[in-house]
Amino acid sequence: MEYDIEDTAEVKGGEFSLSDAKSMYEDYKTYWFDIYREAKIDLLMAVGDKATHWGNGWDSNYKLPATAVVVNELPQFIHQVCNDIRQNTPSIKAIPDYDSDEETAEIYSELIRAIEYKSCADEIYDTSAEYQVTSSIGFIRVDHNYCDEEGDYQELTLHRVTDPFVVFLDPASIECDGRDAMGAVRLEEISKKDFKLLYPDKQPTCFIDAHDSEKKKTITIAEFYIKEWTDERRKKAVVRRYKFSGDQLLDETTFPSQYIPIIPVYGAETWIDGKRYLQSLIRQARDPQRRLNHWASKESQILSMAPIAPVMAQVGVLVNDRNQWQNPGSEMVLEYNAQDIDGNPASPPQRLAPPPIPTGIINAMQGAKENIKEAMGLYNASIGNRSNETSGVAINARKVEGDVATFHFSDNLRRSITQVGRILVDAIPNIYDTPRVLQIITEEQNPKLVGVNGAEMQEGQERPFDLTRGKHHVRVTTGASYTTKRQESAQFLADIFKQDPELMAIGGDLLFKNLDLPGADVLAERFKKTIDPKLLDEGKQDPQVQQMQMAMQQMQAQLQQALQALESKHGEEAIKQAELQVKQGELQLKEAELKVKIMELQKPTEDKGLEANQQLFEQQIKEREIALKEAEFQLKVTQALQANAVQESQLQNMQPLGQETAGALQNQEAMQFAG
């Protein structure tokens, strides 16, 4: 069935009322309040908010010190972890369950890849990971929409959640990916103009504060997801979606999956006495960061208290030039009296050194920086700074330890993306349930078309596919993207060919195929033409050679049958005749292969890019022709021997006593014919 986005399910008054929605929102909000409060402090620390760096960020009466300084060390560590996650692209793969097969599961995987591509899934996953690392929680949202304005077909889509603090998941959910959630609430702020376009017969009132709606140009509406069981015996679930303004139900729809389509991406998760605690990467580094700010401010305060140009002079020396020496930085020339008030020679004014920064402050700042690193488990080698290690092995070992210390972030993201895949494979049979042609994307990132559910099969499609049948599981793997893998393959092949250049003649086309350069595919195809066809395992064998090979297999089968006939009267005769047929077939196969090789060599030399070696190819053609003539000669000899064998068999049946004489005469005639 096609899921109507506007009005899938009939609105049932009284089943889920506005008061129910308000109560559910308050319960969910209360549960997440403490977690979100700490998460917001993390975010404000990460962006360098001065009030948060010096206080709690919530006290409006807090006054910053006059010399408050922020030396924010946190972003470099956040970027290190987030960018490591970006480099390891997750890949969702469908696995067939009952009533399905590998090929259909592969179509599922390629369709999911197309959904991710159209939805810009990289941005969605990266955004959720950044919030997870920085504030301890992020979200991914799955939805469905019409493919075009005509509204004939729908498609599944993924969406970013740019503000995780307006999403509230079921407090009873305990799974790390939220797959057991029975409900969710999402607040959405829209303009009154857009509200009128979406709901022309509704009044624009704010869900959070309906009385404050007239003062703003935007309002907040609330979207509720509720999972219901429709059959207790088989545990069949349906997810209903409701939208409310401040005073009424806007619409009710049904999401085409048994899972709540809002997936949490948790940071470090801990449970104590049944209560969930989430921590970001920088949660334990907040106090060391504030300590660094404190001592950096002390340093600035001491320096600001020192005079700009401290000067010491004898009394009376600056009687006429005092104004110049009060601000010596503004004067090009400074004058003074060479004599004091008694007429005696006077020493010139002298500059005094500014007070030194106490060593304790410098040490405290360095200690605070080390505390920040220790709190996150990331040291100099992990962020690319010089460390105490001197060897490359030691540096890499320290970097690996840093990656292990933060691996739970990427692992939790992988689990959440697995839930995304689980929702997609559950919803695909409901959204893509009509005969249609889909554009999918292969693992090599190549788009292709496939007809499903009875639609006409497309070019290159070998069999029909029904996406509405069968069940599938999902598995998510993380690693380098296909482009990165191709670059690694090209580098590996280049190193191998450098060590053994002769291998270039065997696999040079693979090197050119993996190069990320314009025209590399064309060069790979041209180079492939210079490789021995026997080395190309592509199943594109010459038809004539293929027929001869099939004939050879039949002859070998006949030979096996002849071997089983040894105990019969004519066993030896049958074996001899079968051996001759096999020999004849081998010569015919050799002849066919030689003809194919000669046709290859006779192609225009421009195709091979070897114009300078024309004479060499002509010589090779002559040699092949000679070999072909020799094969034809051997074939004639074999045919003569086979004819003699048949005649010998007949003579054996007719003249048993003259068998040896007749055989000798026949062999002599065969030798004369061959000569």
223, β-bridge pairs: 186, 243
pLDDT score recorded for residue 664: 44
User: Percentage of residues in the chain with pLDDT exceeding 90?
Assistant: 41
Higher-confidence residue of 8 and 199: namely 199
Q: Is the pLDDT at 663 greater than 50, yes or no?
A: no
- Cα within 13 Å of Cα(672), Cβ side: 7
At 136, the pLDDT band (50, 70, 90 cuts) reads very high
Tell me the three state secondary structure of residue 74.
Answer: helix
At 608, the pLDDT band (50, 70, 90 cuts) reads very low
Among 57-66, 170-179, 297-306, 367-376, name the one with the lowest average pLDDT.
57-66
Q: Are strands 447-452 and 436-441 parallel, antiparallel or unpaired?
A: antiparallel
What does the mean pLDDT of the chain come to? 79
- What Å distances lie between residue 355 and 299, 302, 305, 311, CA to CA? 11, 8, 9, 13
Could you say which DSSP state residue 354 is in?
A: P
Amino acid sitting at position 303: L
Q: At what angle do helices 504-514 and 482-499 cross, to 10 degrees?
A: 150
At 259, the pLDDT band (50, 70, 90 cuts) reads very high
Higher-confidence residue of 139 and 668: namely 139
137 with 39: CB under 8 angstroms? yes
Tell me the three state secondary structure of residue 522.
Answer: helix
651 with 662: CB under 8 angstroms? yes
Q: Does an H or E element contain 498, and which?
A: helix 482-499
How many of the other CB atoms lie within 10 Å of CB of 377?
Answer: 16
Tell me the three state secondary structure of residue 655.
Answer: coil
At 130, the pLDDT band (50, 70, 90 cuts) reads very high
pLDDT score recorded for residue 17: 93
pLDDT score recorded for residue 389: 57
pLDDT score recorded for residue 660: 46
Higher-confidence residue of 671 and 171: namely 171
As given in the structure block, the two tokens for residue 184 are: 């969710």
Over residues 8-25, the mean pLDDT reads 72
Tell me the three state secondary structure of residue 345.
Answer: strand
Could you say which DSSP state residue 377 is in?
A: T
pLDDT score recorded for residue 216: 80
pLDDT score recorded for residue 173: 96
pLDDT score recorded for residue 609: 46
pTM of this prediction? 0.68
Distance CA 28, CA 269 (A): 18
The 154-160 sheet, strands edge to edge: 154-160, 137-146, 262-266
Q: Is the pLDDT at 601 greater than 70, yes or no?
A: no
Q: Is the pLDDT at 330 greater than 70, yes or no?
A: no
How many of the other CB atoms lie within 10 Å of CB of 289?
Answer: 23
Q: Which residue is listed with tokens 């404190």? A: 294
Chain centre to alpha carbon of residue 285? 30
648 with 587: CB under 8 angstroms? no
At 527, the pLDDT band (50, 70, 90 cuts) reads confident
Q: At what angle do helices 18-47 and 286-305 cross, to 10 degrees?
A: 50
Handedness of CA 632, 638, 639, 641 (dihedral sign): positive
Distance CA 218, CA 206 (A): 8
Over residues 87-115, the mean pLDDT reads 91
As given in the structure block, the two tokens for residue 359 are: 């060593």
pLDDT score recorded for residue 635: 65
Distance CA 16, CA 310 (A): 77
Q: Which residue is listed with tokens 């919530």? A: 58
Question: What digits encode the pLDDT tens for the residues 532-566?
Answer: 776 665 545 555 555 666 666 666 666 666 666 65
Buried b (16+ CB within 10 A) or exposed e, 473-505: ebebeeeeeeeeebeeebeebeeebeeeeeebe
Distance CA 254, CA 642 (A): 79
94, β-bridge pairs: 474
Ramachandran class of 521: left when φ > 0, alpha when ψ lies in -120 to 50, beta otherwise: alpha
Distance CA 449, CA 441 (A): 9
224 with 182: CB under 8 angstroms? no
pLDDT score recorded for residue 610: 44
Q: Is the pLDDT at 352 greater than 80, yes or no?
A: no
pLDDT score recorded for residue 562: 62
Over residues 382-394, the mean pLDDT reads 56
Higher-confidence residue of 668 and 546: namely 546
At 658, the pLDDT band (50, 70, 90 cuts) reads very low
381 with 395: CB under 8 angstroms? yes
Distance CA 590, CA 544 (A): 11
Over residues 10-32, the mean pLDDT reads 83
Distance CA 213, CA 291 (A): 43
Distance CA 157, CA 179 (A): 18
Question: What digits encode the pLDDT tens for the residues 432-489?
Answer: 999 999 999 998 788 999 999 999 999 989 999 999 988 899 988 776 655 556 676 7
Separation of first and last alpha carbons in the chain: 82
At 360, the pLDDT band (50, 70, 90 cuts) reads confident
pLDDT score recorded for residue 327: 64
pLDDT score recorded for residue 46: 95
pLDDT score recorded for residue 503: 77
Higher-confidence residue of 525 and 634: namely 525
pLDDT score recorded for residue 669: 46
Tell me the three state secondary structure of residue 634.
Answer: helix
Among 71-75, 379-383, 498-502, name the one with the lowest average pLDDT.
379-383
Q: Are strands 137-146 and 275-279 parallel, antiparallel or unpaired?
A: unpaired
pLDDT score recorded for residue 665: 40
Over residues 655-664, the mean pLDDT reads 44
SS3 readout for 419-469: HHHHHHHHHHHHHCCCCEEEEEECCCCCEEEEEECCCCCCCCCCCCECCCC
Q: What is the largest distance, in Å, between two alpha-carbon atoms of the chain?
A: 162
What beta strand segments (E) does 107-149 contain? 137-146
Over residues 645-652, the mean pLDDT reads 56
Question: What digits encode the pLDDT tens for the residues 391-430?
Answer: 555 555 555 556 788 889 999 999 999 999 999 999 999 9
